[in-house]
Amino acid sequence: MPGVFVKTSEAVSTRGSKLLLPTVSVGNVPQLAVDLFINTLQLSRIGIIDDSALLPLSGAPAFDHISSRPVPLEVYQTSDAKWTIVQQRSPPLPKHHRIFAQSMLEFIKAGQFDRVVLLASSDAALRTDALIDGPQIRSISLNSRDEQLVARLQALSLDEFGERPNKAKDLDMAARESSLKTALKQLHAAGIARPLLSMCQDADIPVLALVSLVNEGDNIPDAIVLANAANAALDIASNTHQWCPPQSWKWLVPSSAPAELY
């Protein structure tokens, strides 16, 4: 059963908005990056997505400006409705990744978004030799002919996974599908990124994925780098000069080991 978008008001609309969507993946880097956008921009929660494919979750309020308790899948929006940002707090149940990816695809279709941006992370320990050198944030672009965005990604050194098809090959559907399959094979511990990107390709939905190659550990610096990259490429928080981490981050990494251990 697909997830149900429960809006806070009938006036809520996502049509024409740009969607920023994280995946629960290695190091929780995408969710942490989204935390920075939501808390820094003081975004309003416009609803939740009730999806039975996710593990149940509740806890203390996550953000400085919102008193409500977090749930597995929350939807936020900027005051001008230019950006709609989803925050996912818990992973899919075992063997439910494809089911959840299909549910998110239906949400994307129903939302009539102008653009879809997927944030993901991939296990750096399993990267190929070609990905060891160069930038550790890479991009995957699907069904898009936005040359201005392509130029911006290149200027920011957000290289693509695999080799970018030349213009002749761009006209060849088989070549594009082969290029995507090569890129998806290089994603490891990336949550629903693989099935969702594949489904969006088949549905001809334009998607930009930004993937951070990381190791598990203290991933706060990785999240800041990913948020910076997404903001530079897409101008999500145009007037932001410094990120404001939410109050929930104080529980991420202990400041020091208890003295009682020694």
Please answer whether residues 22 and 86 qualify as being in contact, where contact means their C-beta atoms are separated by less than 8 angstroms. Answer: yes
Structure tokens at 147: 């040359």
CATH homologous superfamily for 4-249? PAC-like subunit (3.40.50.10900)
Write the pLDDT tens digit of every residue in 216-228: 999 999 999 999 9
> What is the percentage of the chain residues whose pLDDT exceeds 90?
71
Write the pLDDT tens digit of every residue in 145-181: 788 998 999 999 998 876 554 444 455 555 666 677 7
Structure tokens at 171: 């006209």
What pTM does this model have? 0.90
Please answer whether residues 34 and 210 qualify as being in contact, where contact means their C-beta atoms are separated by less than 8 angstroms. Answer: no
Residue-wise DSSP of 16-74: TPEEEEE---GGGHHHHHHHHHHHHHTPEEEEEEE-TTBPP---S--STT--SPP-SEE
Task: Judge whether residue 100 has pLDDT over 80.
Answer: yes
Mean pLDDT, the chain, whole residue set:
90
**Per-residue pLDDT at 86:** 98
Could you identify the residue written with the tokens 């149900």? 4
Confidence of residue 132 (pLDDT cuts 50, 70, 90): confident
**Per-residue pLDDT at 4:** 93
